[in-house]
Amino acid sequence: MTLLNILHYPDNKLRQKGHNIDTFDEKLEKIATDMLETMYQSKGIGLAAVQVNLPIRLIVIDISESRNEPLFLVNPLIIDKQDLITFEEGCLSVPGFYEKVERYNLINFTYQDLTGSKHTMNADGLLSVCVQHEIDHLDGKLFVDYISQLKRDRIAKKIKKAESSNTVPSRKNVPYNI
């Protein structure tokens, strides 16, 4: 397995949109496996291909406590959503920062697996939030887009400063980096 480089905000490559996948082969499986390993090593629960500079519609997720229930979502699309909630989110592409974001608690979505088979799934709670967060990445959107421009500018400045000094901003007591 190969660890992939996760892009950090405000890198403009995070704004690229993922293209639909129509080839399901060993190359796709390798990318998905590398993304999963990268996510695990980075202590995340979700990772979109756009975050590792691959403009394709592929997401890996594992919200299980034991980190052994990976979910591979190819070409995901939300078809129904309801029940707005506020959830504090972090992001592997915005290290060390967490903000409250409104998301839907219940979603119904379609996706393909790594073989191209189509599925429909319902999700609630953390899984619902994670799927929405990652689909936003595939559409070139980040969780910081839900907050004020002033806060976004401050976060970008702090991340650039931390990267130039080889440190990562951190904040304690937040359980998830999506």
CATH number at residue 17: 3.90.45.10
Task: Give the tens place of pLDDT for each residue, 29-54.
Answer: 999 999 999 999 999 999 999 999 99
Of 4-8, 54-58, 156-160, minimum mean pLDDT range: 156-160
- Domain residue limits at 116: 12-164
- d(CA 86, CA 35) in angstroms, rounded, equals 27
Alpha helices in 59-148 (DSSP H): 125-138
Catalytic residues: 134
In a domain, 169, yes or no: no
Task: Give the tens place of pLDDT for each residue, 84-93.
Answer: 999 999 999 9
Which pLDDT score is estimated for 165? 83
Q: Is 170 or 137 the better-scoring residue by pLDDT?
A: 137
pLDDT cut 70: percent of the chain above it? 94
- Structural domain total, the chain: 1
